[in-house]
Every structure is written in C-alpha cells, then in structure tokens.
Amino acid sequence: MSAPQDSYEAVRTEKLRKIEQLGIDPWGGRFDDSMSLEAVRALPLDKANPPRVKAAGRIVLRRLAGKLHFLEIRDWSGQLTKRELKSREHAGQQVDAWSSYIQVAISKQEVGEQGWALAQELDLGDLLGVEGKLDRTNTGELTIFADKLHFLGKSLLPHPEKFHGIEEIEYRLRHRYLDLIYNPETLDRTLKRVKIVRTLRNFLDAAGFVEVEAPTLHAIGWSAASRRFTRSAGCSATRASARGTTPSSRCWSCTRRTATTRR
C-alpha cells in the first residue's frame, strides 16, 4: 500500500490495518443473496415476527449513542424523492433525497466482540453488508437491527459530513464519485442518461444497424476544420490526438509549445 497523501487518508489507512488485525479481509469479500434497499423498504412488517433481511450499501451517515451505533446505508436501487429532516435545527424541512436508504442499529450484544470492534473502525463512504431483523425504532424510523456485519470495502478518502452533500460546483466536477453519492439529482440524471443510451442502442440494433467503436486517441490527427486536443505521455515524443480533431499547439502534460500542423 502506498504512503497516504494527507492526515485524513493516514487515519483511514490505519483503521484499515486494524480491521485486518481483527481477522477480516481488508479487501472485503463476497456478499451474495442480498436484497436491494428499495426491496427491503417495501417489505411488510410484523411486530410479532419481524422479517429477517440481508442488505448492503454505502455508509452515508453515522451517529454514535454510547453502546449503540446508528448508521445509514444507501444503494442505487431507488429513485429521486423528497425527505423530511428530523434534526432540531432543520425539523420539518424537506430536501431532495434518494429513496433507497435504511438505518442500521448496531449493538455489542447483538454483533459480538469482532462485529463491535469492526463498527468502531467504520467511516463515511465505507461499504457494509448487514444481516438482521427489520423493524421500527421508538421514533418510527425503519431500521435493520443487525446481528451480523460484513465488511465489504474501505473508503480511504474523506467524505463530506453534511447531509445535503457537496455544493461547490468545481469540487463536484473534480470529485464525480462524491457528487453521485451525495447529490441525488446527479445520480438521477446519470441513471436516466444510461437508460436513454441503452434504449437508443437497442432501437438501432433492432433496426439492423451495427455499432462500431472508433479509437478515442490517434497517433495521426484527422478532421475537416476542428482543432484537436493532444496529450503527451510524460514529455515523451509519443503524442496522441482525440478522434475527430486536428493538431493543437500545446503540450498539456509539460506546458511546452509545439508546432501546429493541419491535416
């Protein structure tokens, strides 16, 4: 493992080492036969006999209450919706949210020594699998009362603390993975784009068209009039051009000026 770049990454890397010392695979393992969180939320509840569920997701909220940990995990199976905030300072306020989320309650008595030790090393962004009974808390929140935890992956880079996600546009564009996790509008737009592209592809395929993949980078520039984007590989003599463009005058890797040619 390479040396951490900052203190946040160093802290998370140390937590990953502690997880490995617990005898848990730091790379995570298989977690088969799990339900999507959207399906979990749709299950009917029976107070006398709560259903047992197996689900997984990414941790987006953490709340510690002494000998009880509350996590919120989320996956991609839901849809864009509105959610009412329950915190004192934002009580009653509705915000855009993703519908496939679930609260997870973790207690030492239920998950055992190893599971409780694992819970201490979890952070926002980590991937976690849980097994347990589905019920509601005293406040009415739908919750999985976990009796088994499955570590699936550690996020070594820090995640934003705010519930409503990241708002700075430039930061969102440079960290698309965070934008997809914490901004439900971005995830909704991305999934819609995937469906549109899939529908167009299926329609054209059914009509007898053949899809051809052209190389994205070329050794030789070609175009009618446009200027191409070029990139050097570590200031070497090898240069590549984006398809459908003509040569540019700037080496983007080392800021050298290069001769401009047109083909």
Domain with residue 40: its CATH number is: 2.40.50.140
Give yes or no: residues 120 and 18 share one domain: yes
Where b means 16+ CB within 10 Å and e means fewer, 37-61 reads bbebbeeeeeeeebeebbbbbbbbe
Cα–Cα nearest to 41, from 85, 83, 103? 103
Give yes or no: residues 87 and 135 share one domain: yes
Residue 233 covered by a domain? yes
Give yes or no: residues 190 and 236 share one domain: no
pLDDT in tens, 182-223: 889 999 999 999 999 999 999 999 999 998 887 766 666 665
The DSSP call for residue 43 is S
Q: Are 77 and 37 in contact (CB under 8 A)?
A: yes
Give yes or no: residues 98 and 177 share one domain: no
Helix (H, G, I), strand (E, B) or coil at 94: strand
**131: pLDDT strictly greater than 90:** yes
CA atoms of 148 and 104, how far apart (whole Å): 11
Higher pLDDT, 239 or 26: 26
Give yes or no: residues 78 and 189 share one domain: no
Give yes or no: residues 189 and 224 share one domain: no
Residue 231 covered by a domain? yes
Give yes or no: residues 136 and 189 share one domain: no
Tokens 């969102």 belong to which residue?
172
Give yes or no: residues 107 and 49 share one domain: yes
Residue 2 covered by a domain? no
List all residues 6 or more positions away from 80 whose beta carbon is below 8 Å from its beta carbon.
Answer: 96, 97, 98, 99, 184, 185, 187, 188
Residue 183 covered by a domain? yes
Quickly state the pLDDT bin for 242 (edges 50, 70, 90).
Answer: low
Residue 22 covered by a domain? yes
Give yes or no: residues 115 and 219 share one domain: no
Give yes or no: residues 175 and 233 share one domain: no
Residue 128 in tokens: 């976690």
pTM of the model: 0.74
**Which range marks the domain in which residue 58 is found?**
7-163
pLDDT in tens, 28-72: 889 999 999 999 999 999 888 999 999 999 999 998 888 899 999
Residue 1 covered by a domain? no
Which residues are paired to 231 by β-bridges? Answer: 240
Quickly state the pLDDT bin for 159 (edges 50, 70, 90).
Answer: confident
CA atoms of 233 and 240, how far apart (whole Å): 9
Residue 132 covered by a domain? yes
List all residues 6 or more positions away from 190 whose beta carbon is below 8 Å from its beta carbon.
Answer: 180
Q: How many domains in the chain? A: 3
Give yes or no: residues 100 and 217 share one domain: no
Q: Are 154 and 16 in contact (CB under 8 A)?
A: yes
Give yes or no: residues 29 and 156 share one domain: yes
Residue 169 covered by a domain? yes
